[in-house]
Amino acid sequence: MTGTANTPHTKSHGRVAGKMVLLACAMFGFGYLMVPLYDIICDITGLNGKTGRVSASVANATQIEAAAEDREVVVEFVASINQGGSWIFKPMEKTMTVVPGQLYQTSYYAENLSDNTVVAQATPSVTPFVAAKYFNKTECFCFTRQDFEPRGSRDMPLTFIIDPDLPINVDRVTLSYTFFKSPEQT
């Protein structure tokens, strides 16, 4: 082996470098893939208080099944406005005592205090986080964007059902909505 010339091109540097560039590009893509992955994982685990959504028929089925449930859970409603919006935004009822497995309806009131047409979006969050995936809504103003006329106002309905599988140590659930002006308006 003595005196073997250290020739640089006995192996292809391009091939190794190419593979590494490919890995780098794939990882850049993976960074973006984490966005949908995150939503999926949050839906499954209720991470970050993301609430569930069920169809009315599923809710009805649950309701019949759980008719004999005798525990009560206090649901608290909270409303907050993100910075920079001129709004009135509040829950019509501050607390409700509910039975898991029963369908309930309540509503939030919102009023646009500005002289412009505004599109708004509400995002929900449930605490404790462990309760999030048991808090299911069949109808919610948070599913869609809400248009408001200048100085317009309305009640926005919310229909929800708490899954009877809610862990037994949870007896109080807080549902919080944050009201945002949609970013296109800015």
Partner 1 sequence: MSYNDVTHHSADDHNHDHDHAEHGPAKGLMRWVTTTNHKDIGTLYLWFSLIMFFIGGAMALVIRAELFQPGIQIVDPMFFNSMTTMHAIVMIFGVVMPAFVGLANWMIPMMIGAPDMALPRLNNWSFWIMPFAFTIMLSTLFMDSGGPAGGWTLYPPLVLQMGDSFAYVIFAIHFLGISSVMGSINIVATIFNMRPPGMTFMKMPMFVWTWLITAYLLIATIPVFAGAVTMLLTDRFFGTSFFSAAGGGDPVMFQHIFWFFGHPEVYILILPAFGIVSSIIPTFARKPLFGYDSMVYATASIAFLSFIVWAHHMFTTGMPLAGELFFMFSTMMISVPTGVKVFNWVATMWRGSMTFETPMLFAIGFVIMFTVGGLSGLMLAITPADIQYHDTYFVVAHFHYVLVPGAIYSLMAATYYWLPKWTGNMYDEKLGKMHFWISTVFVNVLFFPMHFVGLAGMPRRIPDYSLQFADWNMIATIGAFGFGFSQLMFVYIIVKSIRGGEKATSEVWEGARGLEWTVASPAPYHTFETAPDIQPSTVTR
Which residues contact partner 1 by CB under 8 A? 1-6, 8, 10-13, 16-17, 20-21, 23-32, 34-35, 38, 42, 45-49, 82, 121, 123, 127, 129-130, 178, 180-184
Nearest CB to partner 1, comparing residues 19 and 151:
19
Backbone angles phi and psi of 92, in degrees to 5: -75, -30
CA-based nearest residue to 100, from 53, 66, 136, 54: 66
Nearest CB to partner 1, comparing residues 70 and 183:
183
Query: Whole-angstrom Cα distance, residue 53 to residue 75?
Result: 17
CB of 19 to partner 1, least distance (A): 9
CB of 104 to partner 1, least distance (A): 25
CB of 85 to partner 1, least distance (A): 9
Nearest CB to partner 1, comparing residues 61 and 113:
113
Beta bridge mates, 139: 159
Q: For 72, which DSSP code? A: -
Nearest CB to partner 1, comparing residues 2 and 57:
2
Beta strands in 42-170 (DSSP E): 52-53, 73-81, 87-91, 95-98, 103-112, 118-127, 135-140, 146-148, 153-162
CB of 55 to partner 1, least distance (A): 21
Beta bridge mates, 96: 75
